[in-house]
């Protein structure tokens, strides 16, 4: 069994996913962390130093119908764990590098939009001081850099890539549905904690699609590996017998 072969003792999809997670783990961890921090540096600089007048995004009828749901803060913060899943499932270093370039281009495009068109959500009309975590969130991630929602854009990019990788590994439908549910929870949370309005979410979803679709088309070809010949290996061992 080579380094690119999944463990034959496990179910095929489990072995495939496990192999992908193990390969270049340290590089994936360092690269994803560096990518997130680099994005945050640009994001918060633009948030505090808008180059142009800030546009307040309008509320839609749906925004008025969605109540404030502080319990969804966990889903909102879970994005920074979710974004590590897709790069963590890349098999080869070249695939990982190209994925990072596409994700980086998505983030740079979002930051460019924030520079030339600073936006903000309307001021929240109720007191959130009684909800743990929200005071810190408002102090760190203010209501600026609203449209497009980069939370949704990155989540959209990620959900499409994870679905692609899980489908290629023939993962069970339950795991793929969990991926979709996680994405929907993150998206809903941006509205439920009033960090974004509906227009922000729609624009963020569109931005994510604009990069996710071509990134699946223009990427390195998947590494080809013949399936492990488990049965043949057992027969061969039986025929040769133990070494004298």
pLDDT value, residue 126? 66
Q: Measured between alpha carbons, how far is residue 192 from residues 66, 197, 233 in Å?
A: 7, 9, 55
Q: Quick check: is 229 in a domain?
A: no
What range does the domain containing 216 cover? 24-221
Residue 174 placed within a domain: yes
pTM above 0.75, yes or no: yes
Asked if the structure places residue 2 within a domain, the reply is: no
- Tokens linked to 211: 């990069």
In a domain, 122, yes or no: yes
pLDDT of residue 90: 95
Q: Which residues of the chain have pLDDT under 70?
A: 1-11, 125-130, 132-142, 222-244
For residue 135, being part of any structural domain is answered with yes
User: For residue 120, what are the β-bridge partners?
Assistant: 56, 144
Contact 155, 183 (CB under 8 A): yes
Number of domains in the chain: 1
Residue at 1 is within a domain: no
The pLDDT, as a whole number, for residue 128 is: 66
How high is the pLDDT of residue 104? Answer: 95
Q: Would you state the pLDDT for residue 9?
A: 52
């Amino acid at each position: 069994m080579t380094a690119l072969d999944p463990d034959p003792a496990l179910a095929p999809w489990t072995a495939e996913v496990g192999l992908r997670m193990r390969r270049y783990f340290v590089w994936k961890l360092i690269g994803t962390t560096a990518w997130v921090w680099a994005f945050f540096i640009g994001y918060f600089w633009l948030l505090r130093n808008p180059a142009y007048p800030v546009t307040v995004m309008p509320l839609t009828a749906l925004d008025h119908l969605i109540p404030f749901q502080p319990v969804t803060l966990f889903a909102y913060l879970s994005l920074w764990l979710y974004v590590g899943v897709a790069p963590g499932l890349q098999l080869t270093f070249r695939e990982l590098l190209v994925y990072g370039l596409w994700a980086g281009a998505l983030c740079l495009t979002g930051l460019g939009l924030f520079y030339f068109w600073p936006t903000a959500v309307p001021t929240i009309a109720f007191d959130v001081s009684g909800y743990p975590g929200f005071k810190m969130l408002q102090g760190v991630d203010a209501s600026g850099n609203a449209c497009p929602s980069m939370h949704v854009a990155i989540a959209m990019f990620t959900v499409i890539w994870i679905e692609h990788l899980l489908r290629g590994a023939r993962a069970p439908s339950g795991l793929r549905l969990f991926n979709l549910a996680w994405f929907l929870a993150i998206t809903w949370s941006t509205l439920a904690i009033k960090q974004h309005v509906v227009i922000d979410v729609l624009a963020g979803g569109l931005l994510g699609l604009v990069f996710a679709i071509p990134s699946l088309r223009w990427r390195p070809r998947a590494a080809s590996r013949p399936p492990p010949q488990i049965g043949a290996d057992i027969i061969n061992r039986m025929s040769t017998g133990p070494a004298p």
